[in-house]
Amino acid sequence: MVPMAATMRDVAALAGVSIKTVSRVVNLEPHTRPEVVRRVRSAIAELEWVPNGAARTLRTGRTGVIAVGVPQLRRPYLSMLTEAVVSEVYRRGLQAAVEPTHHRDERLTTLLDARGRVFDGIILIGAVPPDLVATLRPTDAVVLLHHQSTDRVDSVDADAVEAASLVARHLVVMGRSRPALIGVDRTTDGPRAVAEALAAAGIVGDAPRVDHVAGRAEGARAARELLDRAPGTDALLCGSDELALGALAELARSGVAVPDQVAIVGFDNLDDASFSTPSLTTVDPGAARLARSAVDLLVDRLAGTGGDAARRIISPVELVRRESTLGPGLR
């Protein structure tokens, strides 16, 4: 069984100092002689003492836990991002508690309410209802990851404008001119950014599109619908790799050649994207970097060094060129 846990008092007794001195050593406060520090340290080691988190929390009001709210873990991109966030949190000596919200607002509300009691701060991944965001203040220890710009609270997102531009220019280079869009509304300004980027790249007219979808099945459905509606389509721009992979499967099923007839671009750079046939051209949002930025912002808030205004970090993206967008006849 777990051995009877040692307490600070035991450590103090063994080191021949007062309990407060132990506390000072543990919390790296100044005003302690090196020799005393050494003695306390070895007493701690000998007794295998570990600070009691509950007592510390009770006294300080801090839990050292950061909650990570994520809509679903089983979406590959979300699990990848969540893992990155959790690692980043641990790297800073804090604990992480992952809470899948399943898109239920009440779960989010509960989560936000629990702030300050169960954990110190929250990182929320994905869209959050505006009325919930409206209840937040810039100084709150809350960071929205992959959320549209807001002045209510700190947020981090990938550079959608740059992503759209990279993709649009790549399409033109690869000789495509009649794209269709699937679920590029991951952020509210996604569709606009894509439209502008396409226009800037010289592709005219409104691209047909299907909004609000997620997952492979929906990607497949959307691909079929778009090809029916706009038979001349020569490229599918998808808001996620999952959609793109679903579309890819559907096209293969219905005998449409990719990329010869239709090119496909995804977003997320999932591990899977390099293992489809053909492999998938996609935008890498840089999950590790996004995670780091989000935790950075939150840690600032916890330290009180975040300033009075909501901050926003736009994280750079990268285009990963693969087989699904090779030019027609260039194979």
Q: Is residue 222 at the binding interface for its own copies, with CB under 8 A as the rule?
A: no
Nearer to DNA, 60 or 188 (CB): 60
The helix (H) or strand (E) run that includes residue 326 is none
Q: Is residue 56 at the binding interface for DNA, with CB under 7 A as the rule?
A: yes
Q: Contact, 167 vs 236, CB < 8 A? A: no
Cα distances (Å, whole numbers) of residue 227 to 13, 214, 242:
78, 18, 18
| Cα angle 58, 64, 68; round to 5 | 125
71 token code pair: 């809509």
33 binds, among DNA, its own copies, none (CB under 5 to 8 A by kind): DNA
Q: Is residue 187 at the binding interface for its own copies, with CB under 8 A as the rule?
A: no
Contact with DNA (CB under 7 A): which of 18, 149, 254, 274? 18
* Closest approach of DNA to the CB of residue 4, in Å: 9
235 token code pair: 């490229």
Among 213, 228, 248, residue whose Cα is nearest residue 325: 248
Contact with its own copies (CB under 8 A): which of 50, 204, 303, 330? 50
Q: How far apart are CA 117 and CA 212, in angstroms?
A: 35
**Residue 92 forms beta bridges with which residues?**
none
Residue 36 CB-density burial (10 A; 0-12 exposed, 13-18 middle, 19+ buried): middle
97 binds, among its own copies, DNA, none (CB under 5 to 8 A by kind): its own copies
Q: Is residue 59 at the binding interface for DNA, with CB under 7 A as the rule?
A: yes
208 binds, among its own copies, DNA, none (CB under 5 to 8 A by kind): none
Q: How far apart are CA 74 and CA 239, in angstroms?
A: 17
**Contact region for DNA (CB under 7 A) — 58-66, 168-176, 251-259, 318-326?**
58-66
Q: Residue 147: what residue type?
A: H
CB atoms within 10 A of CB 103: 11
82 binds, among DNA, its own copies, none (CB under 5 to 8 A by kind): its own copies
Q: Residue 264: what residue type?
A: I
214 binds, among DNA, its own copies, none (CB under 5 to 8 A by kind): none
Nearer to DNA, 18 or 254 (CB): 18
| Cα angle 136, 138, 143; round to 5 | 75
> Which distant-in-sequence residues (6+ apart) come within 8 Å of 296 by Cβ?
none
Q: Is residue 314 at the binding interface for its own copies, with CB under 8 A as the rule?
A: no
Residues 270-289 binding its own copies (CB under 8 A) are 271-272, 275-277
24 binds, among DNA, its own copies, none (CB under 5 to 8 A by kind): DNA
Q: Is residue 257 at the binding interface for its own copies, with CB under 8 A as the rule?
A: no
Q: Residue 99: what residue type?
A: E
Q: Binding residues for its own copies, per CB under 8 A? A: 1-2, 5, 50, 52-55, 57-58, 63, 65, 72-74, 76, 79-80, 82-83, 86-87, 90, 95-100, 113-118, 137, 139-140, 215-217, 220, 245-246, 249, 252-253, 271-272, 275-277
Q: Binding residues for DNA, per CB under 7 A? A: 5, 7-9, 17-21, 23-24, 26-27, 30-33, 36, 49, 51-52, 55-56, 58-60
